[in-house]
Amino acid sequence: MKLDAFDQYIHDQYQGYEVTPPAALEQAVMGRLNRAKWARRLGSGAALVALVAAGYWGLAPSPTSSPTSGEAPVRPFLDEPVPPAHAAGAVSAPATAAEFAPVLEAQGGAQAEVDAAPAPSVTSTSRPVAPEPIKNRVEPVPLSGAMAGEPTLQQNAAGSELWIISAEVEVKD
Amino acid sequence: MEPELLELIDACKRGKSRAQREVYRRYSSMLFAVSLRYTNSREDAEDVLQDAWVKIYRHLNTFSRHHSFEGWLRRIVVNTAITHYRRQLKHAYHADIDEVHATPADLDAFKDLDYTREELDHAIAQLPTGYGTVFKLYVIDGFRHKEIAEMLEIDINTSKSQLSRARKYLQDVLAHMSLTALKPDRHEA
């Protein structure tokens, strides 16, 4: 006899073998299932109540959010100081140079000096372009006099390089 | 799988009590027999079966309809029983290895296998716990060595060697039974 036959014989003897469990076992199993079901429902209800309560208290004004709490209000602006109007204009060198171009043309000799100077470009500085509102408020107008001096390259506190062009402008109301 | 059974399983997943009772009534007798096979007493078998049914309903969502539902149920009962006796079984696997000496029964002596299930129960019950569990899992309940190794947390080769030793041991027990009063007429001829 081969092993498979021996195994098969044993297996066949137990094929379809059943023993009826006591009736109380069914009640015990179903009771445990019902208890688990109710526990789940109660858990869900408690979670819902907690969620509603959290929502209610979350919407109510929190005392810690009042200005009298002593905390400094969050500043809506950048941490870096905004440069003054003329400095900001100098930062946006390419745009400003274009705006000044007609004026410089009219000034003859000054034009040559500007051409000779290294043309500032966006790539020459890591500073972003000046904020839009400043540009709108300061309208380019013809210079009232000659350029006070040549553009100078300066380094600010942050280590960035800035082209400074001294000029006098007249602001119209 | 039968569509009716699939509907029943789906209803159980939705927590329908009637469906749960129906599934229980269909399979509880078969599963109780399995539970009795892997436990030492009827009380333990009832405890194991009760725990197994709770697990079955709790994890019914993980059942894949591409597999045998009966096999899945059987496996949960066996796993529950093994967990129930895990400490005892782990000890048994290590203790049994040298316990059984070579008792190579001549397989030719079993040409005319004619034992009742009660006699087989009696013989299998004499197997050391570790051997007996592997033998029952492999031969009676049809698990493969890989599955047995996972269930018992043993090596596949350990499962194979335990089965081999269990067969020899069982054959020896059965041969011995044939010579005793259990089978007095077997060797009279």
* Contact by Cβ (8 Å): B73, B110: no
The predicted pLDDT at position B95 comes to 45
pLDDT-based confidence at residue B10 (cuts at 50, 70, 90): very high
Contact B113 A22 (CB under 8 A): no
Q: Report whether pLDDT(A30) > 50.
A: yes
Residues 109-168 on B with a CB inside 8 Å of A are: 110-111, 113, 115, 117, 120, 138-140, 142, 167
What pLDDT score was predicted for residue A139? 57
| Cβ-Cβ contacts under 8 Å, B111 against chain A | 1
Least confident of A4-18, A149-163, B19-33, B81-95: B81-95
Task: Report which of B31, B29, B34, B27 is spatially closest to residue B12, judged by C-alpha positions.
Answer: B27
Instruction: Give the closest-approach CA distance of A31 to chain B in angstroms.
Output: 10
Read off the pLDDT band of B135 (50, 70, 90).
very high
Instruction: Pick the range with the lowest mean pLDDT from B98-102, B147-151, B156-160.
Output: B98-102
B71 CB near a chain A CB, below 8 Å?
A: no
Cβ contact, residue pair A26, B15, below 8 Å: no
CA atoms of A62 and B129, how far apart (whole Å): 66
More confident residue, A170 or A145: A170
Q: Is the pLDDT of residue B21 over 70?
A: yes
- Of B89, B77, B86, B87, the C-alpha closest to B48 is B77
Name the residue among B20, B28, B139 with its Cβ closest to that of A7.
B139
* B38: confidence class by pLDDT, cuts 50, 70, 90: very high
What does the pLDDT read at residue A37? 79
Q: How many C-beta atoms surround the C-beta of residue A116 within 10 A?
A: 8
Q: Could you tell me the two tokens for B43? A: 């009380």
**Token reading at A61:** 């004004």
More confident site: A80 or B176:
B176
pLDDT interval class at A164 (50, 70, 90): confident
CA distances from A109 to A90, A114, B78 (A): 21, 9, 101
For residue A7, give the chain B residue with the closest CA.
B139
Q: What is the structure's pLDDT at A127?
A: 58
Chain A residues with at least one Cβ partner in B under 8 Å: 1-3, 6-7, 9-11, 13-14, 17-22, 25-26, 28-30, 32-34, 36-37
B115 contacts A36? CB cut-off 8 A: no
Give the Cα separation of A59 and A152 in Å (integer). 56
Report the C-alpha gap between A64 and A70 in whole angstroms: 9
A28 vs B25, B50, B142: nearest CB:
B50
Cα–Cα distance measured from residue B46 to residue A24, given in angstroms and rounded to the nearest whole number: 10
Whether the per-residue pLDDT at B70 is higher than 70: the answer is yes
Please name the residue of chain A whose CA is at the shortest distance from the CA of residue B119: A13
Reported ipTM: the value is 0.79
Give the residue ranges of DSSP H helices in chain A: 3-14, 23-59, 85-91, 93-106, 109-116, 132-137
B143 burial level (CB within 10 Å; 0-12, 13-18, 19+): buried
Per-residue model confidence (pLDDT) at position A18: 93
pLDDT of residue A87: 44
B102 with B168: CB under 8 angstroms? yes
- Cβ B120–A13 below 8 Å, yes or no? yes
Model confidence at A134: pLDDT above 80? no
Question: Which of B37 and A40 is assigned the larger pLDDT?
Answer: B37
H-helix or E-strand spanning residue B179: helix B156-179
